[in-house]
């Protein structure tokens, strides 16, 4: 039998890749530096100060006090000797970024303000003190879990007491809360004693 003639292998024509249409992508717009929103510190001018004194303003995007007059103008006036500076007030600021914090009673562990106080009940007759949940054992009202007296009346048989504070963030239990600063800009939490005291100075150019 004659061997079949070898056919020349079919030449695979390269398939042209599908044309990909790249739509022209516009360059992303360069973000403009944010325009500071200034809250003028007129409330700082309390004690009959002359109106020409420019109090600092609160930059709401930075939560920092900034001078109202341009820095160059202040510096030029300082060099001419025609600048007066008046201490108007002081503020506590964040030790990390110098923005304004809030100060609140908080968990001494991590400084969370999410704290709740448990209510306790004190049974006069047997002196037992426990959480309100421990007393609510019967349908007929409060019953003391220690001496098993039923139908306790608040005020007559027992009284409410303030229990320890409990942190809803870390479950820490504490009798006393601490005053903790919480920076409204960078979120840093710190003991109130670590806050930095900053001068609020008004400027006047003669």
Binding-site ranges for Zn ion (CB under 5 A): 94, 96-97, 99, 107, 109-110, 112, 123, 126, 128, 144, 146-147, 167, 169-170, 172, 183, 185-186, 188
Local structure of 81: helix, strand or coil: coil
Q: What minimum distance in Å lies between the beta carbon of 94 and Zn ion?
A: 3
Q: Which is nearer to Zn ion, 57 or 158 (CB)?
A: 158
Q: Which is nearer to Zn ion, 34 or 70 (CB)?
A: 34
- Extract the tokens encoding 113: 């303000």
Q: Which is nearer to Zn ion, 57 or 183 (CB)?
A: 183
Q: Which is nearer to Zn ion, 85 or 130 (CB)?
A: 130
| Residue 78: half-sphere exposure toward Cβ, Cα within 13 Å | 9
What's the first-to-final CA gap in the chain, in angstroms?
119
Alpha-carbon distances of 46 from 39, 51, 55, 83, 92, rounded to whole Å:
16, 10, 11, 20, 19
Question: From CA 184, how far away is CA 56, in angstroms rounded?
Answer: 19
Q: What minimum distance in Å lies between the beta carbon of 58 and Zn ion?
A: 15
Phi, psi of 193 (to 5 degrees): -65, -20
Q: Which is nearer to Zn ion, 44 or 121 (CB)?
A: 121
Question: From CA 118, how far away is CA 132, in angstroms rounded?
Answer: 8
Q: What minimum distance in Å lies between the beta carbon of 59 and Zn ion?
A: 14
Q: What minimum distance in Å lies between the beta carbon of 182 and Zn ion?
A: 9
Q: What minimum distance in Å lies between the beta carbon of 152 and Zn ion?
A: 8
Question: From CA 203, how far away is CA 94, in angstroms rounded?
Answer: 24
């Amino acid at each position: 039998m004659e061997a079949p003639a070898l056919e020349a292998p079919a030449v695979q024509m390269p398939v042209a890749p599908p044309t990909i249409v790249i739509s022209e992508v516009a360059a992303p717009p360069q973000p403009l530096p944010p325009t500071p929103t200034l809250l003028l510190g007129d409330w700082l001018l309390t004690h009959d100060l002359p109106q020409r004194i420019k109090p600092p303003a609160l930059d709401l995007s930075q939560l920092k006090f900034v001078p109202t007059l341009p820095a160059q103008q202040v510096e030029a006036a300082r060099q001419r000797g025609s600048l007066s500076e008046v201490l108007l007030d002081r503020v506590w600021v964040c030790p990390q970024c110098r923005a304004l914090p809030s100060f609140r009673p908080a968990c001494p562990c991590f400084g969370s303000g999410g704290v709740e106080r448990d209510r306790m009940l004190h049974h006069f007759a047997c002196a037992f003190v426990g959480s309100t949940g421990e007393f609510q054992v019967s349908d007929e009202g409060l019953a003391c879990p220690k001496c098993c007296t039923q139908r306790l009346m608040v005020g007559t048989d027992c009284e409410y007491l303030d229990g320890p504070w409990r942190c809803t963030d870390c479950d820490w239990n504490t009798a006393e809360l601490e005053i903790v600063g919480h920076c409204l800009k960078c979120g840093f939490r710190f003991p109130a004693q670590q806050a930095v005291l900053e001068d609020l100075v008004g400027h006047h150019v003669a």
